[in-house]
Structure formats: structure tokens, C-alpha cells
Amino acid sequence: MSLRFLTSGESHGPALLAILEGLPAGLRLPVEVIQTDLNRRQRGYGSGPRMKLEKDQVKIMGGVMEGTTIGSPLGIMIENLDHQRWKGKSIPAFAIPRPGHADLVGAIKYGYSDLRPALERASARETAARVAVGAVCKHLLAQFGISVGGYVISIDEIEGELDEIPVEERSRLAEESEVRCPDPGAAEAMLTKIAQIMQEKDTLGGVIEVIVLGLPPGLGSYVHWDRRLDARLGAAVLSIPAIKGVEIGPAFENSRLPGTQAQDAIRLEDEIISRPTLHSGGLEGGITTGQPLIVRAAMKPIATTLTPQPTVDLAAGIETVSNYERSDFCPVPRAVPVVEAMIAFVLADALVDKLGGDSLAEMLPRFETLKKAKLSDLSIEDRDHIWWAE
């Protein structure tokens, strides 16, 4: 595990910070690489008023000289423009926790006398810093021909028809849609549904799919639970606020099939070992197969609803309902770059693990030498063994 990152910052504090450690030296890193994904995270139908207030301009504070990484920690800062409206102001007590948010559990855990510190840090505002880190990881992966692209497959009950849309096209088409769904018919229905939920002062969830193309076989491992790539992707994606379910490939659909129908046959065509189907989602035994990697993330409808919900006033000690709070109505389209970011981080880490990561110049030729799914790359022999001899 070579790459790590931490973030710091509260939703209405001065800024968000991220430090990404373990990047190889020699990676050209124009700031636009990060800015492009930050802009994507700010765009998406169903956002609340905050996105009109923020500009999310990234500043690189360390780890880059003359536009190129130097192998030292990358430091990133994104200012919260909304901070100016909070700074030095008297803010009313926050004593009424929202069901489903971190308000109540945060206060129990940390012993706060006001709920604000919990919601400030638990806020999905923090995902801006993750997107910045993820954009750098995506850029590193791109040097090896690996692309990470996501899109919305469903919002509420509305599901896109994606079977006919080639996997290579989906995320590009999704960017043309305000709800990031590559199926134009479903996208229209999603827009209407979100407009309706805004009127109803409620929120909507949905499912995001991310496809990674160009991965080599052999990233990840089965030797320990925490080196299985399924597990690491699952943990990374589940760490995103409001993401409550993760699926590798069609995992839940596979659970309803007999075993003979849920695997990907291994075939041989001209010395190349091929896998004509993709039930595995691109991972076997916690290791990439070299096929497209498919990860799905289920986002719950977020907890901050304009319609009041039953709760308790913890200062007054009485049952009441939650207060009006400014928030998003359906953050699912905006969460696409966040899911991409966490997946890109895990895969960049796995790639650096595999290749060693002091410099890009060392990594690139090593990448070319990785074993492929070809008979000539394997060294399997037909002979007996005594594995556990005295």
C-alpha cells in the first residue's frame, strides 16, 4: 500500500486541504487536470444553493515544481467561498439532530455541546478534496492507458437502458446530460422526477456505475483480506457520505444464478487466453483479470430534507421535528466524480504497489513487462509435485 491521503477542513471553514503521499516523481501535472474534475463535481441537476456560492478553485501547495511532481507529498487547497458569510458571525445553537445524518452520533461520540462540529466535518463538502486527489490518481493511471469513467444508472425507480451503449462511450455521453445518465430517455425522466422531489421538499437516491478500461491483469492480491482489490474498492467507495451499497459487477444478479451461469468461461484463441463474458466485474480472487472493471455504488436519499422529520430537541429535552436546512435534493449526479476519485485512488495505489513508484520513468517500462493473459507469458508445467514433503 504505497499511496495514502488525508483531508482536513470543515464545510463552512476557511478551506479544504488534502495531502497525497506516494506519487511518483516526473508526472506532468497541469492544474487543469484537477480543476476539470472539481468543475464536474459542481455540476449536476438536483444540487442545492451552495453550489452557486462556491467556485472550487484548486491551489497546489506542495509536491510539484515546474509543473511536474517531485516525489514529495502533494498538497492541495480548495477555499470555501461561503466561509466569508460564516466568519465571525453568531450562529444559533444546533441542538436538533437530523435523522440519518452524523449529528446525533457525532455528539454522542465526541461529547459536543452543539451539533455543528459533527455536521461540519461529516458534510459531503469534504468530497471536493477527494475529487482533487482522485483527479491526480486518474491522471497517473492515464499515463498507462487506464481510464476511469462513471455515470448514473438509476435515480429512484428510473433506470437507464445501457446494454446497447458501448462501455467506452458511456461516461462521455453521460457528461452531456445534467443528470449524468448516458440513456437520454431515462435522463429526461430523471430530470422530471428530481424537479418533482424538489417541489415535494424531499430527496432522492440512486445508483452510480464506474467502468475502468485498460487495466492490466494482476493488480491486487488474494494473500490477505486487506490486499484483495474487491475489499479495498468496497471500503473506499463506502467511505463516501450517503453511499450504502457497493457491487462488483452484477454481484446481486449473480447471486440469483446457478454457478455454471455466473462465471466467465476461459477460452484460448491463438495463444491468448480470453474471457468472452464479464460476470466477474473484472476481478477474480481480489485481482484484476485485465477485463473492464465494473463497480456500482448505491447512494441513499440524503438525510437533509426540507420536509421536517421526527427527532428530539436535545437542549430542550422534548420530541420535535427537524429544522429547515439548506441542502441538495439529489446529489447522485454530482457524486459520480467522487466515486470515480475513490476508485482511481485504490487502483493508482495498486499500480504503484505493482510497479514501484519512485519515478514515472521507472514505472513506464516496467508496465510493458507485466505478464498478460497469454500462454507464452505463463510458465505452467505438466509434472507432479510433493508440496509438503517431510
Residues that bind ligand EPS (CB under 6 A): 11, 48, 50, 54, 119, 123-125, 128, 304, 326-328
Q: Identify whether the C-beta of residue 347 lies closer than 8 Å to the C-beta of residue 215.
A: yes
Residue 8: how many other CB atoms lie within 10 Å: 14
Query: Which lies closer to ligand EPS via its Cβ, residue 123 or residue 288?
Result: 123
What is the C-alpha separation between 31 and 206, in angstroms, rounded? 31
What is the C-alpha separation between 253 and 223, in angstroms, rounded? 27
Query: Which lies closer to ligand EPS via its Cβ, residue 103 or residue 264?
Result: 103
Question: In angstroms, what is the minimal distance from the CB of 285 to ligand EPS?
Answer: 36
Query: Which lies closer to ligand EPS via its Cβ, residue 7 or residue 327?
Result: 327
Question: In angstroms, what is the minimal distance from the CB of 98 to ligand EPS?
Answer: 9
Question: In angstroms, what is the minimal distance from the CB of 334 to ligand EPS?
Answer: 7
Question: In angstroms, what is the minimal distance from the CB of 78 to ligand EPS?
Answer: 9
Query: Which lies closer to ligand EPS via its Cβ, residue 50 or residue 275?
Result: 50
Residue number, nearest CB to ligand EPS: 50
Q: Label residue 256 exposed, middle or buried (CB < 10 Å: 0-12, 13-18, 19+).
A: exposed
Return the bridge partners of 299, or none.
206, 243
Helix (H) or strand (E) holding 25: none
Segments in 89-213 forming alpha helices (H) = 103-110, 116-122, 127-142, 167-174, 184-199
Query: Which lies closer to ligand EPS via its Cβ, residue 326 or residue 374?
Result: 326
Query: Which lies closer to ligand EPS via its Cβ, residue 124 or residue 141?
Result: 124
Q: Is 87 helix (H, G, I), strand (E, B) or coil?
A: coil
Query: Which lies closer to ligand EPS via its Cβ, residue 2 or residue 323?
Result: 323
Question: In angstroms, what is the minimal distance from the CB of 51 to ligand EPS?
Answer: 6
What is the C-alpha separation between 275 and 267, in angstroms, rounded? 6
Question: In angstroms, what is the minimal distance from the CB of 286 to ligand EPS?
Answer: 32
Question: In angstroms, what is the minimal distance from the CB of 123 to ligand EPS?
Answer: 4
Q: Residue type for 184, please?
A: P
Query: Which lies closer to ligand EPS via its Cβ, residue 46 or residue 357?
Result: 46
For 26, the grid coordinates are: 516526473
Query: Which lies closer to ligand EPS via its Cβ, residue 24 or residue 48?
Result: 48
Q: Identify whether the C-beta of residue 137 lies closer than 8 Å to the C-beta of residue 347.
A: yes
What is the C-alpha separation between 187 and 160, in angstroms, rounded? 7
Question: In angstroms, what is the minimal distance from the CB of 25 to ligand EPS?
Answer: 31
For 326, the grid coordinates are: 439548506
Q: Residue type for 309, please?
A: Q
Query: Which lies closer to ligand EPS via its Cβ, residue 128 or residue 153?
Result: 128
Q: Label residue 212 exposed, middle or buried (CB < 10 Å: 0-12, 13-18, 19+).
A: buried
Q: Identify whether the C-beta of residue 18 lies closer than 8 Å to the C-beta of residue 132.
A: yes
Helix (H) or strand (E) holding 311: strand 310-313
Question: In angstroms, what is the minimal distance from the CB of 319 to ligand EPS?
Answer: 23
Crossing angle of helices 332-355/31-42, nearest 10°?
A: 150
Q: Identify whether the C-beta of residue 62 lies closer than 8 Å to the C-beta of residue 77.
A: no
The strands making up 58-62's β-sheet, listed across from edge to edge, are: 4-8, 15-21, 74-79, 58-62
Question: In angstroms, what is the minimal distance from the CB of 8 to ligand EPS?
Answer: 15
